[in-house]
Amino acid sequence: MPTFSDLGLPRPIVNVLTKQGIEEPFPIQEAAIPAVLDGRDVLGRGPTGSGKTFAFGLPMLALLAGSPSKPGHPRGLVLAPTRELAAQIRQRLDDPAAAAGLRVLEVVGGVNINNHIRSLAAPVDLLVATPGRAQDLINQGKLSFDSVAVTAIDEADQMADMGFLPQVRKLVDATPENGQRLLFSATLDGDVEKLVQRYLTDPVTHSTAPAQAAVDTMQHYQLLVGSRESRNEIVPLIAAREGKTIMFMRTKHGVDRQVKKLRRVGIEAQPLHGDKGQGARTRAIEGFTDGSVPVLVATDIAARGIDISDVSLVVHIDPPAEHKSYLHRAGRTARAGTSGTVVTLVMDEQRKEVDQLLRKAGVDAQKVRVTPMSDELVKITGAQEPHGRPLPPPGQPQTTKRSRGKRR
């Protein structure tokens, strides 16, 4: 097994990885890093959680090291579909970049644009951006891609699903035509394939296990809950389990309502959806990462690209609308070779729909009839009775004021 040094990364970057306990590259890193360092275009296909951020990010830093950048004119560009993913990429690359004497900046929607304008007034080497905010800054004359030598497009299939590809094309067109391009995607559908043909020249292609194969490291269950009332009783029991849990709902309203219900029974749950401000989203993800928030309730789009280790259970409270969403949701667990459990709560009237969905996703899920606190429910999910005090809505402080009367 080669080391990161063997792959050609400079010593300061390797030292940072060693300090973080990262010694051996993942397969996608082993394949992509030498190719990027050689100046080749790279097409990386693999599920989220396969180590893609370091596969493109570390060699980009190595290529940028040793040369100066100008304010507002980054030399490296990473485009990401969501604010959360952009933040995670920047956080991952901060320490290796600092060791190489480089500055990484993240510009995303939902944050006051003046903060970004101020940040761009100093030289920036690697810019991590969501497409909309990057275009806003270009339109205002505060950002230019005329010095970009290497561009990475991450989670290209999600960009396509979210309708961002026209913006992505416009942004890549603003970079020098002879620049190096790296594209990473879990799947290579029609729209992503067009992007590859338009921008990548004779790319080195590396595929890790596709989304379906990654699903094999997970245990899948259809939990047949019967009625809606029974399902609603079961959700807090699962949420009260030990460990990190992500629960999915189809709508933002459903997410908010579910979080309120869980917090009423003392479960520290946080919502994640597109209407939340950046501060609330950051707090939710940081709390989930450090374990102080054990339950995230999310919509599909909001949770895309979230790369948090040790998520042991994914719960589809609402089954997803289509099979690709199932694979993206399920991909929040069993990351980087670990295992995890994925359960779909299926009401009687949803059974046919869910069967069809899983068949399209290539998933064989065991069907188990469950009731609140039944042995099967406890065994599969670790469900237990919640026993915390009621919590206020997210973002509101816990009240400590006691009533003056005697307790009865």
* Confidence grade of residue 60 (pLDDT, cut at 50, 70, 90): very high
Range of the domain at 346: 212-381
Domain end: 208, 237, 268, which one? 208
Name the residue among 269, 201, 196, 185 with its Cα closest to residue 235: 269
The residue that leads in pLDDT, 11 or 216, is 11
Segment among 207-211, 255-259, 304-308, 334-338 with least mean pLDDT: 334-338
Rounded CA separation 221/379 (Å):
12
Does residue 61 sit in the same domain as residue 193? Answer: yes
Structure tokens, 47: 């599920």
Q: Is residue 405 part of a domain?
A: no
Judgement on whether residues 223 and 372 belong to the same structural domain of the protein? yes
The token pair at 318 is 């609402």
Residue 101 and residue 219 share a domain? no
Can you tell me the distance from the alpha carbon of 79 to that of 154, in angstroms, rounded to the nearest whole number? 6
Please state the length of the chain.
Answer: 408
- Does residue 51 sit within a domain? yes
Of 154, 183, 208, which residue constitutes the final position of a domain? 208
163 and 267 fall within a common domain: no
The CATH number that applies at residue 132 is 3.40.50.300
Q: Rounded mean pLDDT of 376-403?
A: 80
In a domain, 395, yes or no: no
End-to-end CA distance of the chain: 67
385 Cα distance to chain centroid: 30
Confidence of residue 123 (pLDDT cuts 50, 70, 90): very high
Q: What is the mean pLDDT of residues 93-101?
A: 96
Question: CB–CB of 67/75 below 8 Å?
Answer: yes
Query: Is 397 inside any structural domain?
Result: no
266 and 175 share one domain: no
How much is the pLDDT for 404? 37
Q: Is the pLDDT of residue 406 over 80?
A: no
Same domain, 55 and 178: yes
Task: Please determine, for residue 190, whether its predicted confidence score (pLDDT) is greater than 80.
Answer: no
Residue 285 phi, psi (nearest 5): -70, -40
Q: What does each C-alpha distance from 191 to 157, 169, 187, 302, 383 come to in angstroms?
A: 8, 11, 10, 21, 41
How much is the pLDDT for 50?
Answer: 64
Could you tell me if 126 and 254 lie in one domain? no
Both 277 and 357 in one domain: the answer is: yes
What are the tens digits of pLDDT across the range 23-39? 889 888 998 999 999 99
Does residue 111 sit in the same domain as residue 193?
A: yes
- pTM value is 0.65
Is residue 316 situated within a structural domain? yes
**For range 360-373, the mean pLDDT:** 92
Q: What is the pLDDT of residues 63-88, one digit of tens each?
A: 999 999 999 999 999 999 988 889 88
Give the chain's domain count. 2
Q: Which residue has the tokens 């992007």?
A: 195
Whether residue 313 is found in the same domain as residue 352: yes
- Nearest CA among 112, 153, 146, 99 for reference residue 129: 153
User: Is residue 236 located within the same domain as residue 192?
Assistant: no
- 172 compared with 205, residue with greater pLDDT: 172
Same domain, 202 and 229: no
Q: For residue 143, is it within any domain?
A: yes
pLDDT digits (tens, 9 = 90+) for 154-182: 989 888 877 889 999 999 999 999 999 99
Please identify, among 160, 176, 208, the residue that sits at the C-terminal boundary of a domain.
208
Position 264 in a domain: yes
Residue 21 within any structural domain of the chain: yes
The confidence score (pLDDT) of residue 407 equals 38
- Residues 126, 76: Cα–Cα separation, whole Å: 4
